[in-house]
Structure 1
Amino acid sequence: MLRSMYSGISGMKGFQTKLDVIGNNIANVNTTGFKKGRATFQDAMSQMSSAAQGPTPNRGGVNPKQVGTGAQLGTIDNIHTQGSKQTTDRTLDLQLEGDGMFVLDTGDGTKAYTRAGNFYLDNDGFIVNADGHKLVGTNGNVLQSIPENASNFNIQTNGDVTYVENGNQESAGQIGLAMFSNPGGLEKAGNSLYLETTNAGFGGIVAPESGNAETSIVSGALEMSNVDLSEEFTEMITAQRGFQANTRIITTSDEILQELVNLKR
């Protein structure tokens, strides 16, 4: 069988995966805190026809002769660039200006991380996300609950959570931010959450606007998806054309095989 046919198959598989990534990006164009994905490719192992030869006193060197066997998926990257700002004027809508992630206590002894800053107060006065996971402070513990009779609830740019109770200003703690040297190494867990991996480079939980984190928290705003629709549609067109070109390789190879079969007649 012709090697070009298998090369075409590998190309089709690769572009199908790329279209899957693009489709997921477009589906999450309005998802709060979403970070887009990107598929990259590598060439597959080449088949050696003849090895390279060094020069001799009587003859120059000869380059290797290799035939490629197609393409393969290289990486699926998560691009952690800053998303656009959407003003909501809601106190518990928090946007991060800079690096880092909010830390959430999942309730089972593990922590999850997110850039989606749409938080709420539960019945016990704890700050939670849409799934009920509690927001964590700089000390690694859940922030203190806010009494039901509290007023003038406020969140500062440095993460300080304050409220007024019986005429006195009280503190519920300071929101902590998880820092990662390689945020692309985080594992997506769904529900706009990320989980730590051995390659994420966890740098601890720090205070916003501190020496370890220049990130500030903006109350009354949300970070939207960093998906650029014009870029995604362009990538979708190139992926579609690449898929079509690889199908043409297969049909052309099939026509050649048919000609070889017809030689017998």
Structure 2
Amino acid sequence: MGRSIYCVVTAAGSGTRLGNPEPKALVKLAGSPLLHHALRALEPLQGLAGVVITAPQDYLETFAQVAQGAALSYPWKVIAGGTTRQNSVYQGLQGLLSFDRGAGQVTADDPEAIVLIHDAARALTPLQQFQRVCAAVASGCPAVVPATELVDTVREVAGESFTRQEVEITPAGATPDRAHLRCVQTPQGFAGNVIFAAHQQGHEEDQAGDGALDDAMLVARLGYQQYFVAGSRQALKITYPLDLQLATWLAQNPNRE
């Protein structure tokens, strides 16, 4: 591919829904923190020039210790994330800009750089998924999102919920054609100049940083087309205890694509 790849790994989220008082990225999966698995998954990616990990302010040293323990061959740094995911990614991108040039510094107007935004909670994302995203960006796609087909039928909500006999009930609306719907995952990949411009605009428009659900939505606001590549069931987002149980089984029984 021949192009430098950079990655922001967002890991500043809480572990509340997993029943853990510490940040989610420190929750153990098969004996190691989720962050360890997420960082090791990037290790074989050719062309990786630098990784920024966003962490809660009070856990910067702990996260650095996890990264050191992962014995990574690529340059990395840990910085404080923001109060929202969008703000954390913005801070992560600024961290990429401040890498020493010897570590492969990227510039905000570089159209040749490939920038990945990845979620540490998708700790078991297979290498092939990173490669597919990078290949699509390298082919000229400005914004690339891995996605999977929906398994369940999806219904819209037609009104506010109410309670009857202690049961919460919600009116159902239309049924979208799931053939035209996808579940999106990470890493999302972008041409460097595109993602920096998108997050700069998002940061300026909304200092709270809560105006977009993901990075591709910010890019779409600039008028760029988004593209899908195949995602993987293995790249599940570990949010609830049942997710962690499934991820533990997957880690102990590797699924090769």
- TM-score bucket (shorter structure): under 0.3
Larger Rg: 1
Q: Looking at secondary structure, tell me which structure has more strand per residue.
A: 1
TM-score (ref. length: structure 2): 0.23
